[in-house]
């Protein structure tokens, strides 16, 4: 973890100091952003409206193109790639800025019924970590999401995140380990992206002024990180 202390993790530390009285997770730490993927969720493509297979992206502001034009986000870039490589897939981005694992667990059943996805990418947990919520709660909620998706017949990809060292060694270790443990759970086996910011977390210029959300220039890097684990799931 030490090699990340000078990059994104230090950005989080500075944001925490600036906003310690203002609930980081809501005000800055992946909080709601007008015009982001909430709009995508409000009118999702459904199998009734198309003949393709659905790939459901179920995340927070990191997948909702927070602070960016929608077409610049990694999910939109994935959609554009799939139009060329796997045109049978339709991407539904049901990501909402500020979403926690509990919020995701509460709405996954409805989304599964609406979209009947062939693949579900779960990118949640960062807001739980920024709030310092219990690890057991995080794991239980993500497990519920994965299990419901698995039982619905979808192939699963779980996207991991990490917390900065100032949350304490035990919390940061257990948080990071949670994603690998969940991916290996025989009840809902999933492919795993260990860390969405792999390869650029220490590069301050890859983040927006809040120090938390990647810039447009970082989105292709995020896409490539996800693509490496998603590609084997695509027939």
Out of 36, 60, 149, 213, pick the active-site residue: 213
SS3 labels along 170-190: HHHHHHHHHHHHHHHCCCCCC
Output the CA torsion sign for 57, 35, 222, 20: negative
Active site residue 86: no
Q: Is 61 a catalytic residue?
A: yes
Query: Which residue is catalytic, options 36, 61, 97, 101?
Result: 61
- Which one, of 138, 210, 230, lies nearest residue 175 by Cα? 138
97 is catalytic: no
Distance CA 233, CA 87 (A): 15
Tokens for 146, please give them: 């994965």
Q: Three-state DSSP class for 112?
A: helix
Sign of CA dihedral 218, 223, 226, 229: negative
Catalytic residue among 40, 95, 143, 210: 210
- Catalytic positions are 61, 210, 213
């Amino acid at each position: 973890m030490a090699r990340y202390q000078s990059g994104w993790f230090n950005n989080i530390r500075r944001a925490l100091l600036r906003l310690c009285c203002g609930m980081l997770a809501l005000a800055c730490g992946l909080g709601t952003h007008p015009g982001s993927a909430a709009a995508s969720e409000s009118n999702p493509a459904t199998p009734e409206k198309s003949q393709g297979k659905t790939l459901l992206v179920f995340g927070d502001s990191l997948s909702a193109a927070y602070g960016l034009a929608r077409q610049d986000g990694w999910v939109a870039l994935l959609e554009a790639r799939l139009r060329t490589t796997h045109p049978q897939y339709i991407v539904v981005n049901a990501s909402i800025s500020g979403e926690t694992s509990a919020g995701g667990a509460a709405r996954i059943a409805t989304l599964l019924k609406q979209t009947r996805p062939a693949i579900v990418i779960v990118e949640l947990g960062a807001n739980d970590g920024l709030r310092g919520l219990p690890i057991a709660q995080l794991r239980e909620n993500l497990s519920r999401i994965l299990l419901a998706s698995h039982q619905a017949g979808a192939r699963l990809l779980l996207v991991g995140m990490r917390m900065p060292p100032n949350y304490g060694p035990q919390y940061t270790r257990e948080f990071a380990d949670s994603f690998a443990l969940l991916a290996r759970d025989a009840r809902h086996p999933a492919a795993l992206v260990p860390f969405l910011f792999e390869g650029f977390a220490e590069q301050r210029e890859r983040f927006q002024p809040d120090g938390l959300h990647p810039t447009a220039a970082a989105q292709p890097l995020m896409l490539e990180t996800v693509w490496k684990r998603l590609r084997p799931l695509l027939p």
